[in-house]
Structure 1
Amino acid sequence: MTARPQITAPGADPRSPGYAPAFVADVLDDALAHDCRVYSITGLQGTGKSTIAAQLVALARERGVRAMALSIDDFYLDHDARVRLGHEVHPLLATRGPPGSHDVALACEVVDALREGRGTRLPRFDKIADRRLPRAEWPVVDGAELVLFEGWFQKVPAQSPEALADPVNALERDEDPDGIWRAYCNDSLARDYAPLWSRLDRLLFLQGPGVDQVPEWRWQQECTLQAAHPDRAAMTRPQVLRFVQFFERVSRHGWPLLPEIADRTVRLDASRRPID
């Protein structure tokens, strides 16, 4: 049985989990200096987006700013909806993660309510069960002065149809030989997400060393998830290695483009330490 490594959150300060306090303060200063209502954080899987979003919420509250964190993962389509897509379009669409697996209209509705200071329910997704929690279990908030909205592909543009021709990994080669799945995801990225991206006031890109770092970082995330829920079964390492292939195409496409798209880019080393 493979030993699960002990994981701490990413950062430059080994004495405490998470990003170093000075860096968190710098990011919050950036959000407040630009009078953001919705400050977005993007980066490859495992970059530590959820970690820094939680740190930013805590620091903002210390400063008297009502803040909350939101993730693109909160808006996954429920399992049954994705299974229907898998039957109707392509089997790979039953797996959450890529463009096309989110309820973008719901995301826009929630972000609008938060921006306007209205009370709203926040969707919650159980990643181990792979299901959206029932609406009655969604927390209710009264709005926020600052929303930290994190996700792995914010504002990444769609590819040209020609760029979809060659598979980028074994998953595409063996399970999507005709390109139906990747075309659906690409079309969804081009068609559905622009209204959501338009609601983001400022975008921070945490640029890790590259896509090849993702499998290890994503495995660390899964170990952390398993440690938090020892009575439930998270993904095994082989399952994680397959899962990250669902994200690889958009990640490889977006990684070199986002520094020109994002309002601010901070490079990270393999230990997720900011090097800029």
Structure 2
Amino acid sequence: MKDRSVPELIALALQGDEEDELAWEAIRALHERGGNEVFEAAVRLLHSASSRERGRGADILAQLGGRERSLEFVTKCADEVLSALATEQDAAALNAMGTGLGHLRDARAISALQPFKDHPNADVRMGVVMGLMPHRDPVAIQTLIHLSRDSDEDVRNWATFSLGSQAEEVNTPELRDALFDRLTESTAELRGEALVGLALRKDLRVLEPLRRELEGSTVIVLAVEAARALEDVSLLPLLLALRDRSGEADGYFRNVLADAISHLEALAH
């Protein structure tokens, strides 16, 4: 990819579907290449008649220049995405623009994305979650709370993750109640994100639901992470029983479990 010209990389970025791996390799190469030539090419895509090209323009601008980019350049990229967002109608392009604004971390995204929180397309609402994830402004948090109750499970999951472990420093009763509401979800991962969020905030309402998760026939790593975060030593016997239980568990799970046991044992002495 490094030997290809910018037009060649742009052409590759436009191939396949939204998740095409070769296309994303090209996009990552454009991010690393940076510079005005790539910036101008991405801006042209943003103003294309093709919604596919507009979405890819946002994908490129989202992380253009990588970690070396200046705040001035980030703002310049955000200016372009925000301008395009104001007139965009296509769901996939709106998703890309919302996600891109999340990478750019520009506070103007909060007011720009908030009106899309009830958009009929779940992909658009997902873009709102991704765009608001870096922000701790009350409007951003309130919108994420709203989306944690979305009709689409993926949107609920990412909004719950955003509130639970990404916005750990925000600890309001309304946010905790939103996380508590997700403990009745049928999907273990979604419940797990809520468990972690409540445990990080030492909300004791999580203790009994967390016990049930740790005693279940299948235990996910998020439940173990929540046990460590809650720091309630009464959970230690459950973690030890889990360690000694027969069954399959990958290395990552066992490492997290060992760390949680060690942490609670230290607190118990």
Give the shorter-chain TM-score range: under 0.3
TM-score normalised per structure 1: 0.22
The structure that has the greater radius of gyration is 2
Which structure's residues are more often helix, by fraction?
A: 2
Which structure's residues are more often strand, by fraction?
A: 1
